Amino acid sequence: MAALDTVLAKIDGNLDSALGRLFKLVEIPSVSTDPAYAGDCAKAAEWLAAELTSLGFETSVRKTPGHPIIVGQAKAARPDVPHVLFYGHYDVQPPDPLDLWESPPFEPRAVEAATGKRIAGRGVADDKGQLMTFVEACRAFQETGGLPCHITFLIEGEEETGSPSLPAFLAANADELKADMALVCDTGMWDRETPAITTMLRGLVLEEVVVHAANRDLHSGIFGGAAINPIHVLARVIADLHDEKGRVTLPGFYNGVAELPEDVAGHWRELRFRESDFLGEVGLSLPAGEQGRGVLEMVWSRPTCDLNGIVGGYTGKGSKTVLPAQASAKFSFRLVGSQDPVKIAETFRAFVKERLPADCRAEFISHGASGAVQLPFSSEALSRAGRALQAEWGKEPVLAGCGGSIPVVGAFKRDLGMDTLMIGFGLEDDRIHSPNEKYELSSFRKGTRSWARVLNALAL
């Protein structure tokens, strides 16, 4: 195996061609939620498989009930080294609203900004650029004498829709996928100079409710006052879900939610998180969550109930005097600790049903339920990765929480008995899921170099 310096120099030498490869991947509009892009999801999977094959991985593209999953395996030059499973996702969120993009979402380009070069395009930070940092690190090893660890790739195309095909795939292929640990590059840095290792993820319950009332839309003059209005019913349910202190009122909702251990709380205080910058950057000034809690705590270690969409009646131009037959809303619950996602979905449904007046009926649609993830705050792998990141960035990594969810990480623990090391190079202002998503060139370059150092450290 070549010395680490040789590998790092190779990464820097490859940077231009690596960017070219990333652009090719971002050009494929692999939007998983919209069936119109199923062909593009398959194309992204084939593209990645060809890439891995060319790097000496034994690769296959596996069919699932949804979008294909790629598995690739390669052995290290030495036999007695750890075996890691790297997970990433090639699917992206829809680019809408399109008119807010400064350049077309699937025509990636490098842009010069005050903080340096960045690449703009849908999926460039979530997760294509991040996933390619690991691929490019593997390339540099293969071009300089071989991999330091045995590596299995698992790349899916349904993460942005809650990974519906993945649990069955993990169960059916457990022997093939089981490794000493999993590595995931789908999270962020603490700030642009400070790397992070993420040890907590919130869980996610997605519920849609349709409240039905009359058997058709009604004239609000003829029926108004006499007929029940499902928008009012839904609005009342929604208002009931929080109390005046910002707490969620579902019975038992906070079961399994613990106060932060003092050492973790202390560590977070030392981070000097700037609440007003965090909110100010998105045009807000006051925290809107549970009273008496810090913002970092609100997004990392407290559970939430949010509405993501609400529809009912006439929403077109002008006015229409109508009492609608139905109203609907999409809810998301972010979970922490040992909150039970199945129980919370059930409690929510009961909560809605209890509040339905005569003549109303609720229809429920689940869009997924996964629990929170808590990984150990210390382990041999974590220390090694921490030192490797420090060597690249010149700063000790922050042990971070994450308000978002990555459904597979819980399944790795539950079904394959593996802990996951989550290291990502995204920045808070990368605009993932939003128009003008970007990934900084420094994230891409130093992220690739970081993986080379981490893989090297894990193998020593």
Q: What SS3 state is found at 446?
A: helix
Whether residue 214 contacts residue 228, with contact meaning beta carbons closer than 8 Å, is answered with: yes
C-beta of 146 vs 167, nearer to ligand BES: 167
C-beta of 144 vs 405, nearer to ligand BES: 405
- CB 256 to ligand BES: min, Å: 19
Q: In a 10 Å sphere around its CB, with 0-12 CB exposed, 13-18 middle and 19+ buried, how is residue 16 labelled?
A: exposed
Q: What SS3 state is found at 359?
A: coil
**Tokens encoding 277:** 């910058």
What's the CA gap between 197 and 389, in Å, rounded? 9
- Name residue, tokens 């209890």: 354
- CB 396 to ligand BES: min, Å: 20
Q: State the binding partner of 164 from Mn ion, ligand BES, none, CB within 5 to 8 A by kind.
A: none
For residue 380, give every residue at least 6 positions away whose Cβ sits within 8 Å of its Cβ, in sequence order, or none. Answer: none
**Tokens encoding 291:** 């009273």
- CB 319 to ligand BES: min, Å: 35
C-beta of 303 vs 407, nearer to ligand BES: 407
C-beta of 85 vs 406, nearer to ligand BES: 406
| Binding-site ranges for Mn ion (CB under 5 A) | 126-127, 186
Nearest Cα to Cα of residue 424 among 405, 390, 451, 457: 451
Q: What are phi and psi of 330, to 5 degrees?
A: -110, 125
Residue in the shown chain whose Cβ atom is closest to ligand BES: 404
Q: State the binding partner of 443 from ligand BES, Mn ion, none, CB within 5 to 8 A by kind.
A: none
| Binding-site ranges for ligand BES (CB under 6 A) | 126-127, 159-160, 162, 186-188, 204, 368, 402, 404-407
Q: State the binding partner of 404 from ligand BES, Mn ion, none, CB within 5 to 8 A by kind.
A: ligand BES
- CB 410 to ligand BES: min, Å: 12
Nearest Cα to Cα of residue 358 among 206, 250, 212, 208: 212
C-beta of 127 vs 136, nearer to Mn ion: 127
- CB 205 to ligand BES: min, Å: 10
Nearest Cα to Cα of residue 25 among 6, 40, 9, 5: 40
- CB 102 to ligand BES: min, Å: 22
Q: State the binding partner of 402 from ligand BES, Mn ion, none, CB within 5 to 8 A by kind.
A: ligand BES
C-beta of 218 vs 409, nearer to ligand BES: 409
Q: What SS3 state is found at 205?
A: strand
